[in-house]
Amino acid sequence: MALGVQTGDPLWLAKQKCPDIIFAPPHYDRYLQFSQMAKEIYTDYTDQVEPFGLDECWLDVTGSIGLFGSGKTIGDTLRERIKKELGITASVGVSFNNVFAKLGSDLKKPDATTMVLPDQFWETVWPLPVSELLYVGKATHQKLRKYGIRTIGDLTLTDVRFLEQVLGKDGVMLWQFANGLDQSPVSNIGAKSMIKSIGNSTTAPRDLVSDDDVKITLFVLCESVSARMREYDFVCRTVQIGIRDNVLCSYERQGTMTYPNRTVKNLFDQSFSLFQLHRPEKAVRSLSVRACQLSVMGNEQLSLFPKEFKLQKLERLDKAVDKLQERYGYFSVRRGIMLTDRELSNLDPKRDHIIHPVGFFQK
């Protein structure tokens, strides 16, 4: 748009760019329906289909070329089938690794197949703004610009040890991505790896400067993590939080709970206690909550011990809230503190969370 509103902008930012913008309510159920139908088309060409968020997938078609033609041919076929069978358009990136395939899919929209070839990827990729590279968000982009790193090519020419010093392990990862060194495999759509932890994270729409700011954000994250543990029938022994301040300094801390459980209150109490013990000097930009040391929830039996009895009451309360939100939507039941700052509490963690492919971080 002429005023700079882009796909993926949070509502507050879109409103800031265009004060007269009109927001239409999303049809989330339809969104999921079309996403699932697209995945069913993908599986006609390969069983290596890995979701990235709600509306994107990586496909490894290496073993399908003999049946269906080149990567570009398969990409064009997918676009035509999606257009004909679903009535929507799709953009496809074809490359020798996941990162460049994702980048290619973003270069030409709404309906195109873009090739990023291994013997000349630098011609396509390196002149692009560094913000086009996967996982270079707004804050990381600003920090890279501070050091004169404006294009992906600039990133490749930067000493990787300097990037590690400035951005931590993410700096090394981004340098590898820029140089075409991502070797992450595409997982099989039917494969389910053992779940070792359940977590969620968010970058706030503004700096978190007060305890209430942090409490609201942690409650949103803990509600999401708690609901997912119930979905998979897990309880946790350990809670881990991640903190990133407004100059991109980040660290993680964890603590052990007295009783394994998954209640929102106990997850929040442990998370906020960890935050108070390890409070950063600067304002907070991002927070994460992760439940670790998972175990399967046993059959619930009424306990006569006061603390366990209290946990069981909290568990039943959380389950009741799950049912209400499932029927009437996430925002139908809110905690009182959420009403004090709608900007921070407007995140629906069940829909808005970011999924990172596991393969990127197992090197």
Closest CA to 343 of 26, 12, 14, 18: 12
Q: Is the C-alpha dihedral spanning 51, 360, 236, 199 positive or negative?
A: negative
Residues across the chain? 363
Does the N-terminal peptide bond of residue 185 adopt cis geometry, omega within 30 degrees of 0? no
Report how far residue 207's alpha carbon sits from residue 189's, in angstroms, rounded to the nearest whole number.
38
Residue 191 gets which letter from DSSP?
Answer: -
Rounding to the nearest 10 degrees, give the CA dihedral for residues 66, 72, 74, 76. -150
Which residues are known catalytic residues?
Answer: 56
Neighbours of 145 (CB within 10 A): 14
At 158, phi and psi to the nearest 5?
Answer: -85, 140
**Residue 292's beta-bridge partner residues?**
238
Q: What is the DSSP letter of 298?
A: P
Separation between Cα atoms, residue 52 and residue 351, nearest integer Å: 13
Q: Report the relative pairing of strands 250-261 and 234-245 from DSSP bridges.
A: antiparallel
Q: How many CB atoms lie within 10 A of CB 182?
A: 21
